[in-house]
Amino acid sequence: MSVTHKHCYALLLSYDGGAFAGFQKQAPLVTVQGALESALAALGMPVQVEGGGRTDSGVHARAQVVTFRAREQLDPAELPALLARHLPRGLVVRRAARPDYSFHARFSAQSKEYRYRVCTGPAPTAWEQAHAWTLPDPRGFPEVEGPVDRLDEAAVRRVLAPLEGFREFRNLAHPRTEGKTRRLLVRAGLEVVERVPGGARYEFTFRSPGFLRHQVRNMVGVAVTAGLGLLPEGALEQLLSGKGDRWRGARAPGRGLTLWEIRYKPADDPFAAA
């Protein structure tokens, strides 16, 4: 390593959110940011990393991007292996790059995509129990008795369609959310990944330049509530009006949510080919 002026480094991460209390550092809890900064410090670089998305406790990431700045001149090709020696189980640095100094994991992002898995039917696998919302869920829907074989997909899509566009999401955000709560939701989609005897595997996709805290999990909660036939008439219109009460129904648990990718301008993206 040679010491010169500061350089910008970017890391492409994947992690299992079940191993972490979210992305953002919260001592003494184990977080993604804290684990990364400890690993970098072990390499002689006590720096602060910035994430492209601040995932909550239990939320996974397929392609999280982080940046940090250091005076050390590093070989990006060697950095993943060097960090792997100091990282906890469940956190992997897939690639490293040295983009232009002005690049920032969060502020340079054009959009983020989150995906959410929901499973219905008998005998979910161990992976699904850790990475999906498995129904029935007595905590989220105590009024539902017996097995849930399918969601009413038409009802779910009737909820998702009005969410797209520039909307007021105050009533679907965390209660302590401050500042502007209008957001552009580019995509709100539902895919049936697989149909199994007595059940189905669903995947929700949401894409936006920026999400509010708990927004995705609340949107999934509203959509699944509709898919179970439990959403009151006019509830969605009231929520999107930004007036009245916030959503107090089921919020989808963090374990089913994955930060799928972060998109940048092609000329800026350090991992465009990943």
Amino acid at 265: K
Encoded tokens for 76: 């990006």
**Known active-site residue 56:** yes
Q: Which residue has the tokens 């179970």?
A: 228
DSSP string covering the chain, please?
-EEEEEEEEEEEEEE-GGGSS-SS--TTS--HHHHHHHHHHHTT-----EESS---TT-EEEEEEEEEEEEEE--TTTHHHHHHTTSPTTEEEEEEE---TT--TTTT-SEEEEEEEEEESS---HHHHHHSEEE--TTT-TT--S------HHHHHHHHHHHSEEEE-GGGS-TT--S--EEEE-EEEEEEEEEETTEEEEEEEEEES---TTHHHHHHHHHHHHHTT-PPTTHHHHHHHT-SPPP-S----GGGEEEEEEE--TTT-TTTT-
Instruction: Determine which one of 56, 152, 245, 268 is catalytic.
Output: 56
**Separation between Cα atoms, residue 52 and residue 61, nearest integer Å:** 11
Encoded tokens for 262: 């972060």
Q: Which residues are catalytic?
A: 56
